[in-house]
């Protein structure tokens, strides 16, 4: 079986168009069409429904695509790793992050990768925990930054840091970093929180259950940017790590206070698909992630406690 033909089949399936795929891989459209006919003859079933708007997979085609994605990715990664043995580490890496982490980490990390690993092509994917886990297991991303602890997952995962959630309110609410608020007081406030099973909501719900606090969730928003907008507009209060709203806090558009009795904390973990050796480029990225987290914490841009020895990963 021709490896390139299978790769081209997956590309056509992703783009939904023979012409777009031909343009992307710089091959004549009739030649690519012939490849697909030969592939259909080989497997003995039609793989595409052809129509004016493009190419749509049949049930058999979708079955083949779903079984090919991970093996083809692993083969490509193996080739990249072999090529990079005689030179600086390089290759494509897909890194998944929960949005609140991406807000503070994505930009600085991209700059660090550009400076320290110029041959690594980084693709940053934001998503909620459940989506990131699914993408890891399907091999669509290499590593991910998730809510922890690591023991919650059947993944190759390591706890990276712990930070505290703050009570966040509108600019005229009177909250102050110098005046902590007991968690029980959240019961008196209209809250803006994500829906379950969003990681932030799970963290808050666990503390509410432990303290037997009944929370009044006025709005549910599965975008932390929207949560901040609703709070800024005076529609309620939310809970977020300081790193995810530091710019608004400095600008005065959001006020905040620490939560005590008990404090509300979250743990972030770095996870990879279990049982699969990740690429050298992904290993390099893991090191750069730890370096950037340490730099952000040291500079006060991320108020958190690191759970790894930063000196071990120093340049």
Residue intervals in the chain for CATH 1.10.10.10: 3-84
Contacts of 21 (CB under 8 A, 6+ apart): 8, 11, 12, 15, 32
Chain segment 146-182, per-residue pLDDT in tens: 998 878 777 788 999 999 999 999 999 999 999 999 9
Q: What integer pLDDT is reported at residue 25 of this predicted model?
A: 81
Q: What are phi and psi of 42, to 5 degrees?
A: -65, -45
Residue intervals in the chain for CATH 3.40.190.10: 91-159+267-313
Chain segment 40-94, per-residue pLDDT in tens: 888 889 988 888 777 889 999 888 888 887 777 777 766 666 665 545 667 889 9
Nearest Cα to 160, choosing from 15, 70, 69, 290?
A: 290
Q: Is the pLDDT of residue 296 over 90?
A: yes
Residue intervals in the chain for CATH 3.40.190.290: 161-266
Query: What's the CATH architecture for 91-159+267-313?
Result: 3-Layer(aba) Sandwich (3.40)
CA 23 – CA 307 distance, rounded (Å):
47
The topology under which CATH files domain 3-84 is Arc Repressor Mutant, subunit A (1.10.10)
Does the pTM exceed 0.75?
A: no
The topology under which CATH files domain 161-266 is D-Maltodextrin-Binding Protein; domain 2 (3.40.190)
Q: Is the dihedral of CA 226, 231, 237, 241 positive or negative?
A: positive
């Amino acid at each position: 079986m021709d490896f390139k033909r299978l790769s081209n089949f997956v590309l056509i399936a992703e783009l939904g168009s023979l012409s777009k795929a031909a343009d992307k891989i710089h091959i004549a459209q009739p030649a690519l069409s012939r490849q697909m006919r030969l592939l259909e003859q080989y497997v003995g079933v039609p793989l595409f429904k052809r129509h004016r708007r493009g190419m749509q997979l049949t049930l058999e085609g979708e079955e083949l695509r779903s079984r090919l994605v991970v093996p083809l990715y692993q083969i490509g990664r193996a080739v990249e790793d072999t090529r990079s043995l005689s030179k600086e580490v390089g290759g494509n890496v897909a890194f998944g992050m929960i949005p609140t982490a991406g807000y503070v980490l994505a930009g600085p990390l991209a700059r660090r990768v550009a400076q320290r690993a110029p041959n690594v092509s980084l693709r940053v994917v934001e998503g909620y925990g459940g989506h990131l886990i699914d993408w890891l297991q399907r091999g669509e991303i290499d590593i991910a930054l998730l809510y922890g602890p690591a023991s919650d997952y059947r993944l190759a995962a390591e706890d990276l840091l712990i930070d505290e959630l703050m009570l966040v309110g509108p600019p005229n609410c009177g909250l102050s970093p110098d005046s902590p608020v007991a968690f029980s007081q959240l019961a008196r406030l209209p809250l803006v929180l994500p829906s379950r099973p969003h990681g932030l909501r799970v963290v808050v719900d666990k503390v509410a259950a432990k303290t037997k606090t009944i929370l009044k969730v006025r709005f549910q928003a599965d975008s932390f940017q929207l949560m901040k907008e609703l709070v800024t507009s005076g529609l309620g209060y939310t809970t977020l790590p300081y790193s995810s709203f530091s710019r608004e806090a400095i600008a005065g558009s959001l006020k905040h206070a620490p939560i005590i009795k008990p404090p509300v904390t979250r743990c972030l973990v770095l996870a990879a698909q279990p049982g699969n050796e990740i690429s050298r480029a992904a290993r390099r990225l893991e090191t750069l992630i730890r370096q950037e987290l340490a730099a952000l914490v040291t500079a006060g841009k991320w108020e958190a406690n690191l759970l790894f020895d930063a000196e071990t990963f120093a340049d």
